[in-house]
Structure formats: C-alpha cells, structure tokens
Amino acid sequence: MTRTVRSAVTGVGGYLPDNVVTNEDLAKIVDTTDAWIVERTGIRRRHKAGPDQLTSDLAVEAARKALAAAGRTPADVDLIVVATTTPDLTFPATAAIVQRKLGVPVCPAFDVQAVCSGFVYALSVADGFVARGHARCALVIGAEEMTRLLDYTDRGTCVLFGDGAGAVVVEPVEGEGTTADRGLLGFALRCDGGKTDLLYVDGGPASTGHVGHLRMVGNQVFRHAVVNISEAIEAASRAAGVEIKDIDWFIPHQANQRILQGVADRLGIDETKVVSTVADHANTSAASIPLAWAAAVEDGRVKPGDLLVLEAMGGGLTWGACTLRL
C-alpha cells in the first residue's frame, strides 16, 4: 500500500498579555454599555498588550508553548510563517524578528497578510512546505495587537478587538491516505477584493504614510459572514472527504458569538462542539483560532485523534476553512 505524507499539527500554544480591559472600562471612554456589547457580540473583556510589548513578543511566547507541547526546541524549526496584520515594523517580516528572538537557525521565515483569515492561510502555506518535504518542523503563528489600530472614538469598532498570539507546530506524518490519518486533510481559501471597503485600515506606507485606523461597515460584514464561512467549511470538508456530522470540534475565528452560532446552526453543528473564547479574548484577528484551540487543548476538551474544523473571515474580504485530524 502507498504511504501518504501529511502535515500534522503536533503542538499548540497560546499567549495573552496580562492587562485585561473590560466592557465597563470601555464604557468610561466611549458611548457604550456592557449590556449592548454582550448582547450584540458576546464579548465581555479583551487583553491589551503593554506599551513596550510588540507583536513579535506575543508571538515568541505562544511559539515557545507550542514547541514545548510538540517536544521540539527552536533548533529544530526550519520554517516560520507568521500571520499578522499588525507587524512590529513595515519590514522586516515579524517572522524574521521572531526567528531572532527565539534563536531559530537560518530557514525560510515570512509573514502572511490575510487579516483575520491569516492563520488558516498560513497553515495552508506551511502544509505546502511540509507535505512536499521542504520543511520538517514548521512554526505557524497568528499574532496580533489589534488594539493599536483602533479609533477609541468609534464605538462601532473599538469594543470588538483585542491582542494575543497563538502558535502551532506542523510536522510530517505518514498515513494510509484515508480520513483516519492524522493531518491537515482539506482547505478552502477565498478572497473577494470587491469588498475591501467593508473592512480596512485607512492608512499605510504607500497611501498616507501613517498606520491608520480600522474602519468597518459592521452590519454588512455580518451579512456576508455566516453564508461565506458556511460555504468554506462545506468545501474544506468535501476536500477532506469527511462529513460535517463527523466533526468533533468546531474552532471558529472569534469575531462575534452571533456569527459563530449562526454558522453552527446553519451547518447543524451542535453547540456543545463549538469552542468559544470570544467572551474573554474578543476578536484577536489571526491569533483567535490558535488561541481558542490552545485553550481547548489545555482544558482537556480537544484530544489527539479528534476531527477539527477551523474557519475565519476578515478584511479583504478574505475567508476560509481547514479540516484536520489531530
């Protein structure tokens, strides 16, 4: 029988900065209430990086935990892909800075920019390297300081986002080529650049020369979310050859409880299978999936052998899903 090499996730880790900002804290600086934020989003609090803490610092903490979980050290790493929309600097890539801070030997290291969908995109890039034998120990990190992009006079956006990082280690494993194999089994990645105006940052090196602030037409983003995400999950599961009823854990991007519940309802995924950290983390963009994943591994819900589906949607608009067996 022909053996198949797949890319498998062998370790997961998450890191949140210590400082917690509650809805009540925000209600002191912008016209909002805890009740409004909880009812419309499910968010109760978010973490905010300290003034001297960089995105790469959060990434390094998460990466160390993921490497420890995989039984690997920085010396083993031969690929770093960082998904971020809030890099330390315009260049070099945050991945290069993470490489230096972790002490990883010379290897490919670069960032992926697909905003909140960045982690799913980055995972598919690492899958390309690992499954083809071009890397044997890849670090895939989602790391964000979204609070640096917020306009704290805009109540429609400043209550929604937080900071954090999550990381996974991806390594080759041999399988039989069936859906019982460990590994990344199916992806669906999408972008509709016709919808850039719905969610963007109003600055950048080539336009204003400044970083800018996050702008969003929230109700229109909401309208696209459930349908688009559901389609991507169905496509990723078809590509994997599995049925949605067989999924053990649904680990969505943590933008809004109503969106992730809406997707679960549309696809008939029982709410007991949904990993939700939105109340405590808010939307940490590319970090949200690995952060939620790490929390569910830490508390013993997600175990080796489980079939997982990850999904995200963000600026671009980008969206996507990945079906995998741990």
CB 238 within 8 A of CB 264: no
Instruction: Name the pairing type of β-strands 20-22 and 45-47.
Output: antiparallel
Is 226 near ligand COA (CB under 6 A)?
no
| Residue 134 designated active-site | no
Smallest separation, CB 283 to ligand COA (Å): 6
Instruction: Name the pairing type of β-strands 214-216 and 199-201.
Output: antiparallel
Instruction: Name the pairing type of β-strands 199-201 and 20-22.
Output: unpaired
Residue from 80, 159, 282, 296 in contact with ligand COA (CB under 6 A): 159
Structural tokens at position 318: 């980008």
Residue from 32, 55, 85, 276 in contact with ligand COA (CB under 6 A): 32
> Using CB under 6 A, which residues numbered 163 to 202 contact ligand COA?
none
Q: Closer to ligand COA at the Cβ: 70 or 229?
A: 229
Q: Closer to ligand COA at the Cβ: 122 or 297?
A: 122
Q: Closer to ligand COA at the Cβ: 232 or 242?
A: 232
Is 155 near ligand COA (CB under 6 A)?
yes
- Residue 56 carries which side chain, given as an amino acid letter? S
Which residue in this structure is represented by tokens 């997982």? Answer: 308
Is 219 near ligand COA (CB under 6 A)?
yes
Structural tokens at position 69: 């979980």
Residue from 7, 10, 16, 41 in contact with ligand COA (CB under 6 A): 41
Identify which range of 9-17, 71-79, 91-99, 151-159 contacts ligand COA by CB under 6 A. Answer: 151-159
Smallest separation, CB 228 to ligand COA (Å): 11
Smallest separation, CB 44 to ligand COA (Å): 13
- Identify the active-site residue in 253, 256, 281, 322: 253
Q: Closer to ligand COA at the Cβ: 43 or 77?
A: 43
Instruction: Name the pairing type of β-strands 109-112 and 79-83.
Output: parallel
Is 222 near ligand COA (CB under 6 A)?
yes
CB 46 within 8 A of CB 281: yes
The secondary structure of 168-221 as a DSSP string is EEEEEEEE-SSTTSSEEEEEEEEE-GGGGGGEEES--TTTTSS---EEE-HHHH
Q: Closer to ligand COA at the Cβ: 160 or 307?
A: 160
CA dihedral angle for residue 251, residue 113, residue 235, residue 186, rounded to 10 degrees:
-70
Q: Cα separation of 285 and 161, whole Å?
A: 8
Smallest separation, CB 116 to ligand COA (Å): 4
CA distances from 9 to 51, 87, 91, 191, 323 (A): 33, 24, 28, 25, 12
Q: Closer to ligand COA at the Cβ: 60 or 275?
A: 275
Beta bridge partners of residue 166, listed in sequence order: 14, 142
Q: Cα separation of 326 and 322, whole Å?
A: 12
| Residue 256 designated active-site | no
- Identify the active-site residue in 116, 137, 158, 322: 116
Residue from 122, 221, 233, 267 in contact with ligand COA (CB under 6 A): 221
Is 262 near ligand COA (CB under 6 A)?
no
Which residue in this structure is represented by tokens 């349908």? Answer: 227
Binding site for ligand COA (CB under 6 A): 32, 36-37, 40-41, 116, 155-156, 159, 216, 218-219, 221-222, 255-256, 259, 283, 313-314
Positions marked catalytic: 116, 253, 283
